[in-house]
Homo-oligomer: A and B are copies of this chain.
Amino acid sequence: MLYLLTKNRNKYEEIAELCKASNLELLMLPDDKIELQADTLEEVARYAAEQAYSKHNKPVIVDDSGLFIDALNGFPGVYTSYVKKTIDSKGILRLMDGVSNRAAYFKTVIAYADSDRIELFEGIVRGMIADSVHSGRDFGFDNIFIPEGYNKTFSELSIEEKNSISHRARAFNSFLSFYKGLVYK
């Protein structure tokens, strides 16, 4: 049995769906994720998975995501949700005002922990920071991020379209390749 550590049912359902497509059943483990302050998503996800495994003794995955802006030395990075809650998309645009290098990427890291191992998987989508707040879903910094190869922000794509290219989907697909090998070998 495989568990996803999250208290967010929408997130659980989105990912359970991805797993189902690979014939894997995913259960929800609704407990707090213990999030470290650290420089990288890898450290955050690894620690949260270790703590969740040692508390529950069940194979578990934990994911962590962030937006990394080149011209801001990777800010908001690991602290993306806090920055969203405080200065929001408008604050990011202020920091990027007049900055010509708009390159940025979204990244997800998934940590898998069981009795034998901790493994990390990543998914990245490169793109650029828009000049203004775009319309569409107000989720994270989706309304100011234009993925490479598109002329719309994440917030203006349909959910299906976003999920098909998102950093989270990429990280999960990478995890699923590994996990199927583990289960079936």
Contact = CB atoms under 8 A, between A and B. Distances in A.
Interface stretch (A15-23, A81-89, A155-163, A170-178): A81-89
A24 interface: no
A73 B86 contact: yes
Contact of A37 (B36, B72, B86, B87): B36
- Copies of this chain in the oligomer: 2
Give chain A's interface residue range (CB within 8 Å of chain B): 20 to 34
A30 interface: no
Nearest to A74: B86
Interface in A32-81: 34-38, 44, 72-79
Interface of A: 34-38, 44, 72-79, 82-83, 85-87, 91, 94-95, 97
